[in-house]
Structures are given as structure tokens and as C-alpha cells.
Amino acid sequence: MILVPLGLVAILLFWLYARQEGWWRPATPHLRCPRCQAAVEADFRLCPYCLYELKPHCPHCEHGLEAGWTVCPFCGQSTMVTTQRYRENSP
């Protein structure tokens, strides 16, 4: 009878230790390329399979940009060409 509570405590302690040490990580959502549906990572700028531009970038300083930005916050240059090309390539 005492083994059941001890087992539950052991499981709880192991779970807390594993979470503290970083063993327990929530599942990350799988991102897909809009063009070819290949698995891509969140920090990819291009799809490695079809070379689709996943994130626009500044043509002047090469920093990543958010879609819709008209000015690069890093160098202050206009991003209209990059943003327009990104929108044209969107599926």
C-alpha cells in the first residue's frame, strides 16, 4: 500500500528534475514552406528545397524584416523593393 504513494512521489520528483534540467521541452510546431510544404525551421530565411524566400530581408544591410515594413529599422533604408518582391512570391 505504501509503494503506490512512493512511486507517485518518485515520478513527480523525476518530472520536476527533468523539467528543471531542460529534458522536458514542449513540442515545437512544425513549420512548412508555403510553396513546397517541406519542413523548415523558424529562423530559415530561404527554403532549402525550393529556395522560396520565407522572410524578407533588407537589400542594403541584409537584416531580416517583417512583412509589411517599409523602412529597415537597422539601416533606415527603404525596403519597398524587397517587400514588393516578397508579396509577389507569396502563395
pLDDT at 29: 67
Residue 46 pairs with which residues in a beta bridge? 53
- What is the Cα 63 distance to its own chain's centre? 16
Hey, where are the domains in the chain? Answer: 3-89
pLDDT at 48: 92
- d(Cα 14, Cα 10) in Å, to the nearest integer? 6
The string of pLDDT tens digits covering residues 31-76 is: 899 999 998 988 888 899 999 988 888 888 888 888 788 888 999 8
**Among 50, 54, 24, 52, CA closest to 41:** 54
The answer, as to whether pTM is greater than 0.75, is no
**Among 90, 82, 81, CA closest to 54:** 90
Cβ neighbour number for residue 11 with a 10 Å cutoff: 10
